[in-house]
Structure 1
Amino acid sequence: MSKKRLSVVVTRRLPDAVETRLSELFHVTLRDDDKPMSRSELATAMKSADVLVPTVTDEIDAALISQAGDRLKLIANYGAGVDHIDVATARQRGVLVSNTPGVLTEDTADMTMALILAVTRRMSEGMAVMQSGNWQGWAPTALLGGRVGGRRLGILGMGRIGQAVARRAQAFGMQVHYHNRRRLHGDIEKSLDATYWESLDQMVARMDVISINCPHTPSTFHLMNARRLKLMKPDAVIINTSRGEVIDENALTRMLRAGEIKGAGLDVYENATSINPRLKELENVVLLPHMGSATLEGRLEMGEKVLINIKTFDDGHRPPDQVVPAML
């Protein structure tokens, strides 16, 4: 007698190849459109499924998890970040949580470097001139940006992505500095030619570029608050491809408007799509719609991780990318 296939509910449209493979292996409910599920739709899915495959746009809090049916045994997140999932409550109810770490490291680091270049070289302002049809030709003093080589880059969070950013920055001739919960091993630090700062305040006050590459946790919420942002040099810029909640967005907007910070490159925002309208009006910012991980290769690798986590669980083993509260 053949084994009954797991019931899997996917909350968003995924690349065709991923959806096809899921359908081959499991009894899968896919989305016909790409709108996020409503809270009631999520609750219904969690009552009927063995496995839920959510994304960062799904808020899986304690109240939802408490309504889940007895069938739900695994939340196989399509993405590395899990701050939208109450992992502790899930664990208490015997629901495992897995994620897709590591596959987006290079893509996100590429986007971080792209934003550093875009902000320091004023690319968005140049594009606006071209799109307006008002360009009158080259001029010696027009849209003068700054040279990236020689600048001090302060990386906040020196995990996989932070280190990948450091390698790219090295190639551009930047001086790499970092602040992390724990200092890197000496060999890694030497290979990156990176200077460690135990004091985040002291590092922030001396950098030309700050790159946010740490996860969002209770301890990192508004880590770059108004007081710390004021420590930045007036000609410094800040880049965030990690989590929007790490920066006090309103304080950042005020300082950018006042010229107290030179510029910003943001791919993530404190309140998801509800971006401060004054921030969107500024010329000295480059704003992207959470594109840091948006490569086809990365999305397929994320899907492969989800598949492996579910298949391993279905075979009676611990998912290789299981997340437990102690990791957060």
Structure 2
Amino acid sequence: MYNVLFLTDRGARHQEAALRAAPAELKVTILRTPSFAEMLPELARADFIISERNQPVTAEMIAAAPNLKLIVRLGSLDYDIDRAAAAARNIQVVVQPVLGTLYCAEHALMMILACLKRLGRSLHAALHTAAPFSPQRGDEDTFSFNWLNFEDIGTLFGKTVSIVGMGEIGVELARLLRPFRLKAVLYNKRKPYPNHVEAELGAQFATLEECLRHADVLVSLLPYAPTTDYALGGGL
């Protein structure tokens, strides 16, 4: 039996799902955003630490875990895990991106492109037989990327995308946006990421007001709370 300390900021439903999925040979203790004092008894027993999203693993925590063999980050950022302290103890650190997060980021990119390219209108025209023109065979001199003659098709090139609520989904979206050669990716969250993380993502922290003012495309990834309920179109 291995003792696993699972650190998360998520609620009861997600915690119960994690416990149901755990193999029988693991004894899992879940703590929600605990203080160091609250972690101490579990750190003393822990063989593995699973850190979800924004739960740091510090040198102090590692020193308090004499049996620790493995640290797993559920997410794609590990800047708040003390890798040097782990390496000094030969403790392996594994970063495991969350598949659902990747799905959401890809879906957000799909929606951005669909809006800019007027995909709904284009599909409607393509799926209906009636068209205001006759088909024309293409060759090297006869082609059209805008055969419906839309005058409002856009591109991501040179645009500013603002991400409000820059958690794991926003991080993955910023990574997906890099090849599009944007003017800027702005983001807002309670606490900015370190400079080296911003450089990796090609993203820049901005105030909420700056994000709204400069955005050509606004992506809201705000978690639900009474303060964010109906915020878009209301308070924002």
How far apart in 1 are the matches of 2:222 and 2:116?
15
The answer to whether the 8 Å contact 1:264/1:284 transfers is no
Instruction: State the identity %.
Output: 17
Shift of 1:71: 0.5
Shift of 1:218: 3.7
Q: 2:37 aligns to what SS in structure 1?
A: helix
The answer to whether the 8 Å contact 1:51/1:74 transfers is yes
User: Is it true that 1:150 corresponds to 2:146 in the alignment?
Assistant: no
Q: What is the aligned partner in structure 2 of residue 26 from structure 1?
A: 26
The answer to whether the 8 Å contact 1:109/1:162 transfers is yes
> 1:108 and 1:268, CA in 2 relative to 1: closer, same or farther beyond 3 A?
same
How far apart in 2 are the matches of 1:111 and 1:285?
23
Bigger CA radius of gyration = 2
The answer to whether the 8 Å contact 2:157/2:183 transfers is no
Find 2:39's aligned residue among 25, 42, 46.
Answer: 42
Q: 1:219 aligns to what SS in structure 2?
A: helix
TM-score, scaled to structure 2: 0.55
User: Which runs of no fewer than 5 residues in structure 1 stay unpaired?
Assistant: 122-145, 167-176, 179-193, 198-202, 225-241, 287-328
Q: What is the aligned partner in structure 1 of residue 90 from structure 2?
A: 94
Q: 2:24 aligns to what SS in structure 1?
A: helix
Q: What is the aligned partner in structure 1 of residue 196 from structure 2?
A: 219
Deviations along 1:35-93, whole A, 9 cap, x unmatched? 42223223432222111112123122233323x22111111222232223122222122
Higher strand share: 2
Q: What is the aligned partner in structure 1 of residue 2 from structure 2?
A: 6
> 1:163 and 1:262, CA in 2 relative to 1: closer, same or farther beyond 3 A?
closer
Larger relative contact order (C-alpha < 8 A, sep ≥ 6)? 1
Query: What are the residue-to-residue correspondences of 1:1-328 with 2, within 5 Å?
Result: 5-12=1-8, 14=14, 16=16, 18-30=18-30, 35-66=32-63, 68-101=64-97, 103=99, 104-114=101-111, 149-153=153-157, 165=176, 178=179, 203-204=182-183, 210=185, 218-221=195-198, 246-250=203-207, 253-254=209-210, 256=212, 259-262=213-216, 264-267=218-221, 283=233
> 1:267 and 1:42, CA in 2 relative to 1: closer, same or farther beyond 3 A?
farther
- CA RMSD in angstroms, aligned pairs only: 4.7
> 1:164 and 1:94, CA in 2 relative to 1: closer, same or farther beyond 3 A?
closer
Deviations along 1:134-168, whole A, 9 cap, x unmatched? xxxxxxxxxxxx95x43234699xxxx569957xx
Shift of 1:9: 1.9
How far apart in 1 are the matches of 2:116 and 2:231?
15
Q: 1:24 aligns to what SS in structure 2?
A: coil
How far apart in 2 are the matches of 1:23 and 1:45?
19
TM-score, scaled to structure 1: 0.42
How far apart in 2 are the matches of 1:118 and 1:61?
43
Q: 2:96 aligns to what SS in structure 1?
A: coil
Structure 2: which amino acid aligns with 1:49?
Answer: A
Q: What is the aligned partner in structure 2 of residue 189 from structure 1?
A: none
How far apart in 2 are the matches of 1:81 and 1:164?
12
Structure 2: which amino acid aligns with 1:59?
Answer: P
How far apart in 2 are the matches of 1:23 and 1:247?
40
Shift of 1:24: 1.0
The answer to whether the 8 Å contact 2:108/2:173 transfers is no
Q: 1:151 aligns to what SS in structure 2?
A: coil
> 1:115 and 1:92, CA in 2 relative to 1: closer, same or farther beyond 3 A?
farther
Q: 2:74 aligns to what SS in structure 1?
A: coil
Shift of 1:262: 4.7
Q: 2:219 aligns to what SS in structure 1?
A: strand
User: Which runs of no fewer than 5 residues in structure 2 stay unpaired?
Assistant: 119-150, 162-171, 188-192
Structure 2: which amino acid aligns with 1:152?
Answer: L
